[in-house]
Amino acid sequence: MTQKFDVVVIGGGPGGYVAAIRAAQLGLKTACIEKYKGKDGKTALGGTCLNVGCIPSKALLDSSWKFHEAQEGFKVHGIEVADVKIDVPAMIERKAGIVRNLNTGVAGLFKANGVTLLEGHGKLLAGKKVEITAQDGGVEVVEADHVIIASGSAPIDIPPARADHDVIVDSTGALEFQSVPKRLGVIGAGVIGLELGSVWGRLGAEVTVLEAQDKFLSAVDDQIAKEALKIFTKQGLQIRLGARVTGSEVKNGEVTVFFTDANGEQQQTFDKLIVAVGRRPVTQNVLAADSGVSLDERGYIFVDDQCATSAPGVYAIGDVVRGPMLAHKASEEGVMVAERIAGHKAQINYDLIPSVIYTHPEIAWVGKTEQQLKAEGVAVNVGTFPFAASGRAMAANDTHGMVKVIADAKTDRVLGVHVIGPAAAELVQQGAIGMEFGTSAEDLGMMVFSHPTLSEALHEAALAVNGHAIHIANRKKR
């Protein structure tokens, strides 16, 4: 007998598993289909984010930063540490342990909320039926009143440097190195490339980042991006802009990369090469030809503002639809769709989705950049505050970067918060909360911030918007 559910979710990543849990909490009979297997051969929930993305990369970023601090940062505190060593396999195993614990946690949440886990590859058929193909080839079909597609994304492979998963790796392979490569190449100076380059650079690799674009971090506010380039270069990352990779050759356990830049044809040899040029939506073999769901030319699923597809009763969320490929965006879409299916009103403010690059210093932003606003003809006032003037940052010996607040010159409403520096992700979230409720720079300036904290930098930047900063000299309004 065919199983019937109120909701079937295809994919157990940060969008899918959250959607499934919320739907079950709302009283809907819910199933979630997941095919990914961990190294132990068991189904592992959490998707790219938990298994080979956000979580493991942050584990390595934290481990590598602690090693870097022990080597170079402790002395200023009067702490002498001799003969600091890194056990890479132990670091990798710590990362794997964190992933396993979280896998178990999500599975436990499924049981606690009554979500049925269906193991295998899910494919949407006509009439909201879903075909599930098990690892052994067995096939079953389930029916649903509503289907949520949350099949995620995968690393983009490029013809000039095809991953062999040994010398040339994608972001997943870069999380599994068992030793520090002496010479590491990274193709792509985006979020993934900079984070992974930072991990191995801190551990001793000579890192060269090849970026095809002439502009560094084009999605980031120009002032923040320029500061980031200066800091990363000082840290030892060799970032080559306008470097377009044309080919590669693997020989004797190393890879030579061929590229062109402003100086013509170039080549450079590395022990390992990470290809981090972006990700693509996983929609191939997820939709039957008669499913009724429409795709664009890049493989993304067409949806409206509430993530409804062209097929009645079918939704799509996360990396397979428009917008940034961010786990928190996928999760909130999952909640929104589950609540709408249950008859509740729910929506997302897509203008206020924060973005973070977890380098050190962190880079984070929410809202629009100064360049975007000026291009739209919006007159703005800008306030900045450097962490070099923050007592808390000085105490922590972590003074690189700044907070930047952008407000409408007429209404004083905050339109963007941009941070490079310690705890940037946390500070930007404070800005996002305020912006969600229409805060003005004056509002932020009138709030009482505890002292000494890093968040005081946000307070001072907001004050600086209107020339009222206390702990730096105020600049004239633009």
What the block records as the tokens of 40 is 């132990």
**Taking the CB of residue 468, how many other CB atoms lie within 10 A of it?**
14
Closest CA to 406 of 432, 369, 374, 434: 369
Return the H-helix or E-strand segment holding 185.
Answer: strand 183-187
Closest CA to 364 of 436, 454, 428, 460: 428
Assign 273 to helix, strand or coil. strand
- For the question of residue 451 being annotated catalytic, the response is yes
- The pair phi, psi for residue 305, each rounded to 5°, is -65, -20
Cβ(135)–Cβ(120) under 8 Å?
yes
Assign 126 to helix, strand or coil. helix
Which listed residue (451, 459, 468, 471) is catalytic?
Answer: 451
Residue with tokens 């890093």: 454
| 57: Cα separation from own chain's centroid | 10
Cβ(119)–Cβ(11) under 8 Å?
no
CB burial class (10 A; 0-12, 13-18, 19+) of residue 123? buried
Amino acid at 372: Q
Return the H-helix or E-strand segment holding 25.
Answer: helix 16-25
Enumerate residues 6+ apart whose C-beta is below 8 A from 18: 330, 331, 334, 335
End-to-end CA distance of the chain: 70
**Active site positions, annotated:** 451
